[in-house]
Each structure stands twice: as C-alpha cells, then as structure tokens.
Amino acid sequence: MDIKSENRCFGGVQGVYSHASGATGCDMTFGLFLPEDARHIKVPVLWFLSGLTCTHENAMTKAAAQGWAAEAGVALVFPDTSPRGEGVANDDAYDLGQGAGFYVNATQDPWAPHFRMWDYIADELPALLGDEFAIDLDRQAITGHSMGGHGALTLAMNLPDRFASVSAFAPIAHPTQSDWGRKQFGAYLGPDESTWARHDATLLMRDRGFDGPVLIDQGSDDNFLDLLKPEALSQAMAARRQEGTFRIQKGYDHSYFFISTFIEDHIAFHAEALHA
C-alpha cells in the first residue's frame, strides 16, 4: 500500500492511499479519514460510496463530512467508483465504464476482467482497512450518493449483519426500471434480468428489507428524478414497514451542496447506531 498524502484534519488525519487490487486487477485509490480517537483505539467506520463520474476525491473534498465524523469518533472511507488505468475497458459515455462501476461484479466482456466492484467493496477493501488501520470491522455503517446510494442500499440488504445502519442521498432506487441501471446491468451482467434483482434497492426492500435503521434524503428539485425513481423505494419501505425515514428536501438538487447540507444528520444517524 502506498501513501499518496496524509493531512491533519479536525484533529485526525485525512489520508489518500493506493494499492494493487486482486479483485479489480489494477491499482485502486481510496480516501480514509481517521479521527483522533484512532490514535488510541479501534474506531467504527462509515463508508461513503460516490456516484457517476466521481473518484475517491469528490466526497472527500466536497461533502464537508470530516468535522462531524471527528466529533462522533467515526472513520470515513471514500472508495473509488470503478477500476481505472491502462488496459481497463472504458466507454465514451459518462455512465458506463470508468467512473461508473455500479458496485457489481461484471460477468460480460470487455468488463469482466476488471469491473468487480462488489468484491472490492464487500471483501477486499474492508480486509485491507482492518489489517492496516485502527478500524473496528465489527462496527460498520454505509451511505452513498446517487449510484453510490444504490450501492450502499444493495450492499446493506445483501450482507445481513454487516452494517449497523444504511443511508443514501438521492439513490438510484429502482435501476432495473431505469435507464440508469438497465443500460449498465445489460452491459455488465448480461441480458438475463434475473441476475439484476439483487442489485435493485426497491426489489430488495420488497423482498427482504434491512434489519436496522434506514435514512433516505431526496431533493425535490433533483433534475434526475425520472432516472432515480425515489417513489418506488419509498413505497416499498412503507409496504414493508421498514424501520426508517424517507425525506423529501424541498428545493434541493442532486449536487454536493445538497449532500453537505444534510451530511451532519447522516453522520449523527450512523454514529448513534455504531455506538449503540
């Protein structure tokens, strides 16, 4: 593992690190904020999965999360959104290929050799964090934005007992019924739509739900509402009587201004579950 940078931040350290990934077959970069408590004890961790076109850097620099995490004594991990580099398949469209991994394991060419973001986020990166840093893997929570909100919700519902809580900002909520999903699932997973269901938060909520608290924030002025389909997830949560809160935030859009406005709420929400 290589240290790209480490900066003092709210009493702790905001670092950027890279490593050779067996899951993706290329070098991967991630950001990690460790609060001051991590100098003495293992701390719980909150994952932030980012959206289309993002790297590890977007949420790390724009979400304004570190101060609240320091106060809560929680680490933050900011993974990249896809494999990258020479020899990694790509597409001219912003919503497929590099920057658009969709947190799945691709089974179709040319994506299959590298696009194994599910294995990377679910298995490889947590093991690395636990080995190299003062991270308590028995206390994990997860959040994300847009494509990352989709990833957070699907990981949380597919990995029982892994996460104490899950939240999302403007998640792609019903990808099997959206152009932000059908296009990518067809490319990465192939035409058999039965393989897509485990990566659809609305279908997972209907089928199994999440054994813990859920928090969803969606801006009313989001220009991607038709692609996100938040009403489908809201209805599935209500029908299942899922423990959780689904909030429509009047006047907010899809940007990091929206995320930074409500990130305090989300970190407090996760901190309560992680320190319970």
Tokens of residue 242, six digits: 């899922």
Q: Is 88 strand, coil or helix?
A: coil
Q: For residue 184, what pLDDT band results from cuts at 50, 70 and 90?
A: very high
Q: What is the pLDDT of residue 34?
A: 98
Model confidence pLDDT, tens digit, residues 47-104:
999 999 999 999 999 999 999 999 999 999 999 999 999 999 999 999 999 999 999 9
- Distant-in-sequence, close-in-space partners of 54: CB < 8 Å, separation ≥ 6: 81, 99, 148
What is the model's pTM? 0.98
Model confidence pLDDT, tens digit, residues 221-241:
999 999 999 999 999 999 999
Write out the H or E segment, with its range, that includes residue 46: strand 43-49
Q: For residue 4, what pLDDT band results from cuts at 50, 70 and 90?
A: very high
Q: What is the pLDDT of residue 215?
A: 98
pLDDT surpasses 90 at 276: no
- Distance, CA of 193 to CA of 200 (rounded, Å): 11
Cα–Cα distances (Å) from 275 to 8, 45, 242, in that order, read: 24, 11, 21
Q: Is the peptide bond before 83 cis (omega within 30 degrees of 0)?
A: no
Model confidence pLDDT, tens digit, residues 237-271:
999 999 999 999 999 999 999 999 999 999 999 99
Long-range contacts from 132-136, C-beta under 8 angstroms, 24+ separation? 132/1, 133/32, 133/34, 133/38, 133/75, 134/34, 134/38, 134/39, 134/41, 134/42, 134/43, 135/38, 135/42, 135/43, 135/45, 135/75, 136/42, 136/43, 136/44, 136/45
pLDDT surpasses 90 at 200: yes
Q: Is 227 strand, coil or helix?
A: helix
Q: Tell me the percentage of the chain whose pLDDT exceeds 70.
A: 100
Report which DSSP code applies to 72: H
Residues with a known catalytic role: 146, 222, 254
The dihedrals phi and psi of 242, each to the nearest 5 degrees, come to -65, 135
pLDDT surpasses 90 at 192: yes
Q: What is the pLDDT of residue 260?
A: 98
- Distance, CA of 130 to CA of 65 (rounded, Å): 21
Average pLDDT over residues 23-47: 98
Rg (CA), the chain: 17
Q: What is the pLDDT of residue 18?
A: 98
- Distance, CA of 51 to CA of 99 (rounded, Å): 8
Q: Average per-residue pLDDT in the chain?
A: 98
Q: What is the dihedral of CA 127, 25, 194, 126, to 10 degrees?
A: 10
**Start-to-end CA span in the chain (Å):** 32
